[in-house]
Amino acid sequence: MPAHQPAQQKASLEQQIIEGRYIERDKLMKLLEHTFGKGNFVVRLQLNRWILAVPMKLTEEQIDTCCSLE
């Protein structure tokens, strides 16, 4: 899956790893775009983990909105 590259400096981004088992890609992308704006984050899926580079880490509540039913 291609990473979404940020328009701003990568140095200002924090890494956050989210277990991907129940995360819905479309919901995660909408959340990231709504929260940080298009192009202001990097996201990739590796070994069933979402690896994010974001201006600030997402909260558990935000992440929960991206989960599918188990």
The amino acid that residue 65 corresponds to is: T
Please check whether residue 3 lies inside any domain of the structure: no
- Work out the burial of residue 15: count CB atoms within 10 Å of its CB; fewer than 13 is exposed, 13-18 middle, 19 or more buried: exposed
Quote the number of domains for the chain.
1
CATH at residue 56: 3.30.70
Mean pLDDT of the chain: 88
The strands making up 49-54's β-sheet, listed across from edge to edge, are 14-19, 49-54, 42-46
Please check whether residue 2 lies inside any domain of the structure: no
In this predicted structure, the answer to whether residue 21 has a pLDDT above a threshold of 70 is yes
Q: What angle do CA 27, 32, 35 make, to 5 degrees?
A: 120
- Alpha carbon 54 to its chain centroid, in Å, reads 7
> Averaged over 33-49, what is the pLDDT?
96
Supply the pTM of this predicted model: 0.80
In this predicted structure, the answer to whether residue 69 has a pLDDT above a threshold of 90 is no
Please check whether residue 69 lies inside any domain of the structure: no
Q: Check if the beta carbon of residue 17 is closer than 8 Å to that of residue 52.
A: yes
Which domain range does residue 24 map to?
A: 10-64
Please check whether residue 70 lies inside any domain of the structure: no
Higher pLDDT, 7 or 15: 15
